[in-house]
Structure 1
């Protein structure tokens, strides 16, 4: 029995070591507001330093490669020490986000201790040490931060407590680890943060389990598993199920362990299903075609049976009347059957043509993007050898634009396939509409700057809608992306609220772009249309974005309207159910 228990413990220790880096590097909650304020002061003070201005801009936009390029340009000049500190800090964080820990550590060590945000440096160095299993070194950094007043640092106290607890756990100082991890868990309970609370319960459970304290460990495993049902994180769901499987195996309850193992595999597969989307979509399409063909065959068979029954009945009547009636009947039946068969054949042909066109356009767009990226990378290598930094900047931005376009295409395809196969996670809740729009807008500002588009956001801050957050973001992102795509240089885009009704809030996305004809608008709003026909053939699109948006708006209980004139612009009006219980 002891050997069996040890086997389970060894398994959980390995599991714990695998799980800790996820906790550390997925939950960074640094508050950038104070850092941004100080950086703006430096930007004004050193307004002639263009490279510093660009480096800080890309840093806060999380464009890590561009941050590395411009911060290095700034460091090659003779700068004030304070600017050097900011540049080394920008570079260190960029390397850290790219999982280049050695380079990040080197840059952090170049930041002077006079740097206003040196406590952030200590925190990051502690996490790198923890990631590299240097637990005593990590503990020194976190103990230094623990002694500081909570108001002086930019991260949550629970982050520091959790990291210290992890250090003591790895050092086998279980009593100290327990004190810190329990305090961390109590903070999360007070904050009612379900995701972080589930994480803290998993750590506490493993702490007790490696000490053979099942009476304390198993309730925490069960709490973590129960909370995992309420969150969207596949990783937490997967780890909670895997831990419960190990617990049941040690209890010799293999039937329950098998159930948890199967659940673990489901969540594991959910993280890897992206590679199966194309195959699933193709199989679903083929299945639909076969089902339609079966319906046609059944309908033809039923029609023949009915014709035979009627002919038998008419045979008992006067021969002349039978001949006349049979002739009329067969003629009309033939026309009717031909119309039904023709309509169904056209529908099947349209489905097949849609599928073929979808694959053709998607493969064409992806091939074009990859080819453009390949060509651009060749130029990038040439300019890297010649150290032509200005051209490198242009090429990096070009690569980013190409990659974003290909990513948006694949993202829409994935979401459409998940929606068609009913695998998409969907949970409606109260959402602050202005915050959702602001979050999406932030990701598209660089694209609007490239086309010099004047953008305005006048969404009513008092509007709360009842919708699924992920699907709402996909809808807003697609329509904003279209507005940018079809807008000319120096155009304008506005997102604002129309007066809401008793049932709905109205969000309007208006652009001054190409617009569309009435026929095109009506075709786009048809439920059966998959591929959208654009007026300009040079602008190729699969139409998946529009189909995806219509499906997701309908699923949220909303409505979609389009107002547009050619060469004037387009208004997309999205009606979303109002959240009525907001106090």
Structure 2
């Protein structure tokens, strides 16, 4: 069981159900990890070791993530040797559950592996279980449509399979999707469907949870009488069971509702009940309790005491990073201070309320954008194989067309020769016809040559990409794999400094691989003509400042000063994103080949006939004429190490040249060994 996000009122937290850490067999929670690990190390049977690893992982899922991850991966390794798909499917399920609120890409990857295994072995109950997990992952990342789709798929499977004990959970989860989308009437409809199963099969935990969720939905609809009715039912159900975890939630819910209905004596009574059982180590419930206490004191017009409680809640909420609490508390404090004519303090908390609200709004936007980016990367990984197959088919089709066209041209030429011999006596007419046919053949020959040159260029591009993938990417992944295996194999023998050193090496290799893939993507888009150019009139200085800011840390590490001399009045007509990429690549190159304490400056000059030239000059090591001659040639282009031993991708300047030409401009470069290099980019002005 995991808890949903808090709504505007703190008691409006919904409870979402899904199975957490499933395993074959019942495992004693009192078993000691050390003794099980000892048995695991001594065992010679892969099957026994697989079961022991599963037990060790289950004991440490909430206490020691390192042990949990290690032994879960052992389950996967051993289950593959034993061809035990059931254990392997549950191991992937447990990893998906573990990463559910931590890393959506990993969570979905492991969950989909589990889903494939259970689908393959036709374990329908397990398939429904994984669909519920996938729905929960999407729910906590704000993708309600995909969450609903997975929950609905679980419901359909359980209905077809007659798994009636799981239907209550399915209905509850679907109801929470409707509640999150503010469709409380539909949510209540599904909660009540689920309620029948909780009551029929005496599932007290599910039954109590559903009663509380129904109360929350009625509260959202401002139907306080019905909200109270279901909150009392939830309380009555809970006190008859051993499931007490949710009791503080229900009591605070009741107290809050009675405050809203002006029945302050009952609100105070329930608040005192909470005080007897509240766990102060649970920051959410402890703050929830104090906020409700502050509301009760405020409702009784005991403003001095209410202010003390609220200010404690505000400070603790900020300290613990629970900003939705801090937002509501600052709003209530502002109202109290204004009501007692303390306007200065009221203004302070009004400003804090708006600042926190704006911060939370921006956080939600960032989370939404991040979720879209992660989903894009995940979908892209799934589609890459299909795209490769399609591209291969297109290439074969193009080659076949060229061969057919060549044969047709040859046949046509033979026909022309035969016709010329046949009409030998009519020389004038024959010569005229022959010249016409020769002209057509020449035109077709030129077209074939043009296509051959394009294919040759594409082959060079393909060879360059293959070279980068075969050498640069392979080396980076070998480095990452080597250091990762070194860390895993020698974890207990390495001191903390050595571990940090190796992890930094892995991080450097990962970042270089990421930059290389980004460059490959940008360059391949420009080569295939699939990139769209959106030209607009933009302020050049802003783009240059942003590009410099992205390279600040890299330049600072070498104490290199970067100076932007561009006047803010200069505008340029180009694609802003492409120009940012051009400037970033060239300035990054300048940093790479400039010594410590060097200088880089960016300036621009107006050219005649509506063009502006941007100059990027450094005091670096410079280049020879041979290097300059091959700088933009893909066939001879290579990458070299910088003055600080930095490694590049070998594609940056090629991307710059393509992007400049796509924006109707051109690029020039001047360099002198030991003096420095100057790149000049000329683009249309506004």
With normalisation by structure 1, the TM-score equals 0.49
Determine which structure has more spread, i.e. the larger CA radius of gyration: 2
Higher relative contact order (CA 8 A, sep 6+): 1
